[in-house]
Each structure stands twice: as structure tokens, then as C-alpha cells.
Chains A and B, each alone.
Chain A
């Protein structure tokens, strides 16, 4: 062990730092100066990507406090999940600026609060994440907490979750 550590040490002292990204031709992604988001590979946009049909009428949008309330709920859900030891690792190294925007758009679209959804579909956006049922439950708990903090009635919370629960097949991959 000691010898190995010593060897590593002398090596790193002896050689100049290597830019491995450059060595392997990895392009460094840059955040868009306006939106603050990283670019993503092109995909076909459409409300169908949201994965659920929106509610009729304005009752649900009202129950969630309109676009302002929905934005707070989407942001809070992402922040709670990033800080949640059960699932933080899944969110690490993903673009939370984009996720907050797209999650807001999706919620807003489904709640019929006057948005279009511009993100990817649920299968494409979760295919490499390795989400399990227990991770899904953790996210649901964080969303429930975010909704509770915005005083969304429990019945309305469940009505919304009823739109999301059937997406489990696309989100849960193991």
C-alpha cells in the first residue's frame, strides 16, 4: 500500500497535469448564458412528451396556486430530492436548472395552468437513471411535502399524483 501510494505521489509530482477531456476529445459543455441550461441532444417536442392528458377546467390549477404555486412546488421538489440522501446520487451531475424548468412546465401543463411542455418524454429522460420503485416513492414523498407546504389539499394532491403514477412504467427501469 505504502509503496503504491509513494509511487502515485512521485508520479503526480513528476508529470505535468493531463487534460483528460482534451486527450479523449470530450467536448466541454457550456451553460447557455441566457437560460443557464446545458444543451441537450435534439429531440421532437410536443405536449405528448408530458406523459399525461391535462385536467379540464381551472379547479386543479387553482388548488395548486396557479403558475406561481406550481413553480414553487416544482422547484421545491427538485431541491428536496437533490438533498435527499435516498436519491441525491441520481440527481447529481444532471442539469437541475433544466429539470426545474421542464418539471414546472410538465406540472403546469398537466394541471391545465396555461403552459406547453417542451421537455423530453418520460422514457427518454429516465432511461439511464436506474430508478427503482423505492426511489420513485422517495420522489413522491418529496413532491407530497412540497405540495403540503403550498397548502394543496390532500384530495387535490392525490388527483395530481393519479396523473403521474401511471408513468411509473417509463420511469422505473430496475
Chain B
């Protein structure tokens, strides 16, 4: 079930293509010259959508505007006291209107795997297929008080349904529904995002969806505030509430402090301090988040 080798290969490939891409970006190639302003495509979230890392935003991935099709790829690593996380994915931004994305999440249980009787280093894997439709507004232009608004669906399929069921989840698959509003308040160099999410997911879905006792959708909230230091650099904070469905393990909210830097037009690197709270009875899962995004 765990596939660490192909993943490493993909991350290495991504890093390699970044190196390849930078000289081309410097030449301002007309073909791959997406028309978006730097950073206004956001950075990939752990669910593969465009956003701020943990929170999904109303932005559309890729660097193309309403006259083009943008592409985006990312790889993310999170290092926690008791767990390791990697995710990677691809995303297409159609005419800055529709975003279609795929992400693969791999959650390494390390020693906890032994404690839970799964075996040392047992990997929980999940695929996330998402679609986002931009409904109204523009993150930069137009009325300064009208945000860009987008609605999304995120269909999540755990590859470890037996584990999810064993910890008490009702399902190994689930679908989240999001509604996001994002605006760059230029007069203060501040970007604000708020997202409402209907979800049943336990730990984002890695521990399945719902539970015997609680199998209805709950309304959760994601908020991000970011300050633009320069055209290329932004720092920010995010908060994301989560349901707490499982009887055997308490689940809390997530938050992070992040810094993103557009190294070139095409390559954005994000580093963050993340607090993922208690995961499967192991508390204080705070650590480092590192992500690279290549976008056209």
C-alpha cells in the first residue's frame, strides 16, 4: 500500500524540472508566459487545490488568465514529531474559471503504526480529486470590497478503508463541499481568505469519513490572512477547523504560519510551521511544512 519510491522519484523529478524551468522563465518565453500577476494563483494545498497550504482559496491554479489554460504541479513534505506526510499533485486551471486537480497524500505512521498494530511505518494513502468553479469577483481587480468567490467539491478516496473502518469511521470515501471568498486588499497589501467547508472527513479523510455515532456533514471554517512583503514574498497565517467524529481519538483544529516566495514566475516555494494538533491519540503534532509549486 505504501509507495515511497515512486514518490521520491516524482519529487526529485519535480525539483529537477524546476531547475530546468528557471532559465526558460528568465527569458520570458512568450509561449509559457502565463498572464497572471505573481502569487495570485496561490500555492497548492495539501488537498491539491489552490490556496495557502492548509486552506483552499477561491483562486484558480496555474498562471493563465481568462484567455488561457494554466498548469500546476506541486510536492509537499510535512515533518511531525510522530508522523511524516508527503503529498503531490497536478492541477489544470481553465480560463481562470475552472480548476481541476488531483493530489495523492501519503501519511507515514512510523512508530505509531506499531502502537496501533498496523506495523511500523504503515502508510495511510488517499487520493483527492477536486473541482473548483469561480463564481464571481476578482481577487485583485474590480470593486475593492467584492472578493473572488468560488465553489468546490473535493472527492477523497482512502486506499486504507479497512484501517478507517477499524478506527470507527463510517466510510473510506467522502466528498467535501467548499465555498471560498478571497481578496487582495491592495491598500493594505493584505490578502484575506475565508472558506466554509461541509465535510465528514476525519483528519482530512486519512482516517476515513464520519463514524457510527456521527455520520452527518458538519460545517467547518478555514481562514487565511497574508501580508505581501514584495511582489515575490508573502507571509501569513491560516486556521482550519475540523470535525471530531471518532470516538477513539480526539481531533482538533489546524493552524499554520507560512512564508511563500516566488523564486521565478513559475516556481513558488512555501515553508510553514504547522500545528496539526492531536492525530490518532498522539498529541502536539507540530512541525515543518515545505512545498514547491511549478506553475504555467
Question: Residues on A close to B: CB < 8 A?
Answer: 85-86, 132-138, 140-141, 144, 154-155, 158-159, 161-162, 165-166, 168-169, 172
Q: Would B186 and A158 count as touching, CB distance under 8 A?
A: yes
28 A-B Cβ contacts within 8 A? A86-B35, A132-B35, A132-B67, A133-B35, A133-B67, A133-B141, A134-B36, A134-B65, A135-B35, A136-B141, A137-B35, A137-B36, A137-B37, A144-B231, A154-B229, A155-B189, A158-B188, A158-B189, A159-B186, A161-B186, A162-B144, A162-B186, A165-B141, A165-B142, A168-B138, A168-B142, A169-B142, A172-B141
B141 with A159: CB separation less than 8 A = no
Give every chain A residue within 8 A of B185 (Cβ-Cβ).
Answer: 162
B25, chain A: closest CB distance, angstroms:
14
Complex interface: chain A residues within 8 A of B189 (CB): 154-155, 158
Task: For chain B, residues 5 to 43, give those with C-beta under 8 angstroms from any C-beta of chain A.
Answer: 30, 33, 35-37
Tell whether A162 pairs with B138 under 8 Å between CB atoms, given A138-B35, A154-B230: no
CB-defined contacts of A159 to chain B, threshold 8 Å: 186-187
B218 at the interface (CB under 8 A from A): no
Question: Within the complex, what minimum Cβ distance (angstroms) separates A39 from chain B?
Answer: 32
Whether the pair A141, B37 counts as a contact (CB closer than 8 A) is yes
CA distance A136 to B65 in the complex (A): 11
A138 to B228, CA, bound (A): 19
List of A residues within 8 angstroms of B138 by Cβ: 168
- The size bracket of the interface on B is 20 to 34
Query: When chains A and B are docked, how far (Å) is the Cα of A174 from the Cα of B226?
Result: 30
Measured between C-beta atoms, what is the minimum distance from B122 to chain A in Å? Answer: 47
Other A-B pairs, 16, CB within 8 Å; known A162-B186, A166-B142: A86-B30, A132-B66, A134-B36, A134-B66, A136-B141, A137-B65, A154-B189, A154-B229, A155-B189, A158-B188, A158-B228, A159-B187, A165-B140, A166-B144, A168-B141, A169-B141
- A169–B140 Cα gap in the complex (Å)? 12
B143 touches A (CB below 8 Å):
yes
Tell me what chain A mostly uses at the interface: helix, strand, loop, or mixed. Answer: helix
Nearest Cβ in chain A — how far from B17, in angstroms?
Answer: 24
**Alpha-carbon separation in the docked complex, A99 to B30 (Å):** 26
Q: Name A85's closest neighbour in chain B (CB-CB).
A: B30
Partner of A134, one of B35, B186, B188: B35
Write out the residue numbers on chain B whose beta carbons fall within 8 Å of the beta carbon of A158. 186-189, 228
Whether A154 lies near B141 (C-beta < 8 A) is no
Q: How far is the CA of A158 from the CA of B185 in the complex (A)?
A: 9
Instruction: Name B190's closest neighbour in chain A (CB-CB).
Output: A158
- Closest chain B CB from A47 CB (angstroms): 20
Interface hub of B141, B189, B230 (most chain A Cβ within 10 A): B141
How long is the Cα–Cα vector from A133 to B37 in the complex, in angstroms? 10
Residues of B115-154 whose CB lies within 8 A of A: 138, 140-144
Q: Of B33, B66, B188, B228, which is within 8 A of A133 by CB?
A: B66
CA distance A75 to B143 in the complex (A): 28
Known: A158-B189, A158-B228. A140 touches B142 (CB 8 A): no
Q: Which chain B positions have C-beta within 8 A of A155?
A: 189
Residues of B within 8 A of A168 (CB): 138, 141-142
Minimum CB–CB distance for B123 against chain A, Å: 42
Partner of B144, one of A133, A137, A165: A165
Q: Are B228 and A154 in contact (CB under 8 A)?
A: yes
Residue of A nearest to B96 (CB): A133
Nearest B residue to A144, CB-CB: B231
